[in-house]
Amino acid sequence: MERQDGRRNNQLRNVEFACGFQRHPAGSVLATFGNTRVICAVSVEEAVPRWMKEQGKIGGWITAEYQMLPSSTEQRTEREAIRGKLSGRSSEIQRLIGRSLRAAVDLEKLPGLTLHIDCDVLDADGGTRCASITGASLALELAVARLIKDGILTENPLLARVAAVSVGMLQREGLLDLCYVEDAAADVDMNVIMTDKGRYVELQGSGEEATFSDDDLTILLNLAKNGLKTIFDLQEQALRNYLEN
């Protein structure tokens, strides 16, 4: 089938990472997946949630917040703060971001610290949660490097790098890295989160008023794994270029 932007079925959109995008956070990245752009920033608080103290938990914590800016979509969306509560979608996505990053960190090596990860969508064209996770993982690396340099951390708590990508079935064909039009029309869509060590963090997949077979699942996972290999390489290249300059 011919995709809207002319890509091959197994081809990513243009993926870029601008490290150090903001001045004040300990680590920040502008993650770009085609026309989707997300600012991912990590701020450090020298405290832990009350429940950790009450339960006697050792170490620190990582938490995430996610929001789409009002102008990130074609039609302006109202700020969720105005409504007084998060939408179910935003709440689910920020929990996913937090889970994904905590899975790749030894929290006991963050003594007394909470790392706040903020993901703000500048432009949305599908895959915002995947761009958020992928950019946030890189921002987390930058933050940890600064904390070690400043002597706040004595050990590297990172166990792996994390990235995510969307895949889907449309007109019985598997597609990698869906834009919004493809995502809206897909019979099946899935978000695949993995570490650079080849281990799954989470799979989110469902048939949109459809079902899918074992063969379909194999096609989707193979597409995702090959795409993620490229994304991990791009993360590494962006981090190396930033640290060398």
- pLDDT at residue 208, as a whole number: 74
DSSP state of 25: S
Global pTM?
0.95
Cα–Cα distance list, 180 to 58, 67, 98, 151, 214 (Å)? 42, 17, 24, 43, 25
What gap in Å lies between CA 5 and CA 7, rounded to an integer?
6
55-113 residue pLDDT tens: 999 999 999 999 988 889 888 887 876 777 778 888 899 999 999 999 999 999 999 99
- pLDDT at residue 69, as a whole number: 87
- pLDDT at residue 87, as a whole number: 83
Average of per-residue pLDDT values in the chain: 94
Q: Is 24 helix (H, G, I), strand (E, B) or coil?
A: coil
Q: Is 124 exposed, middle or buried (0-12, 13-18, 19+ CB in 10 A)?
A: buried
More confident residue, 81 or 5: 5
Span 221-231, average pLDDT: 98
Pairing of strands 200-207, 188-195: antiparallel
103-158 residue pLDDT tens: 999 999 999 999 999 999 999 999 999 999 999 999 999 999 999 999 999 999 99
Q: Is 206 helix (H, G, I), strand (E, B) or coil?
A: strand
What gap in Å lies between CA 169 and CA 208, rounded to an integer?
10
What gap in Å lies between CA 103 and CA 161, rounded to an integer?
10
Q: What domains sit in the chain, N to C, each tagged with a CATH number?
A: 15-244 (3.30.230.70)
| Contact between 66 and 90 (Cβ < 8 Å) | yes
What gap in Å lies between CA 217 and CA 203, rounded to an integer?
11
Around Cβ 117, how many Cβ atoms within 10 Å? 28
In the predicted model, is pLDDT for residue 28 greater than 90?
Answer: yes
Cα–Cα distance list, 210 to 10, 191, 213 (Å)? 22, 17, 10
In the predicted model, is pLDDT for residue 227 greater than 90?
Answer: yes
pLDDT band at 244 (very low <50, low <70, confident <90, very high): confident
What gap in Å lies between CA 241 and CA 116, rounded to an integer?
25
Task: For residue 119, list its beta bridge partners.
Answer: 40, 66
One-letter identity of residue 237: Q
The tokens for 98 are 């937090």
What gap in Å lies between CA 106 and CA 96, rounded to an integer?
18
The tokens for 245 are 């300059």
- pLDDT at residue 125, as a whole number: 95
In the predicted model, is pLDDT for residue 2 greater than 90?
Answer: no
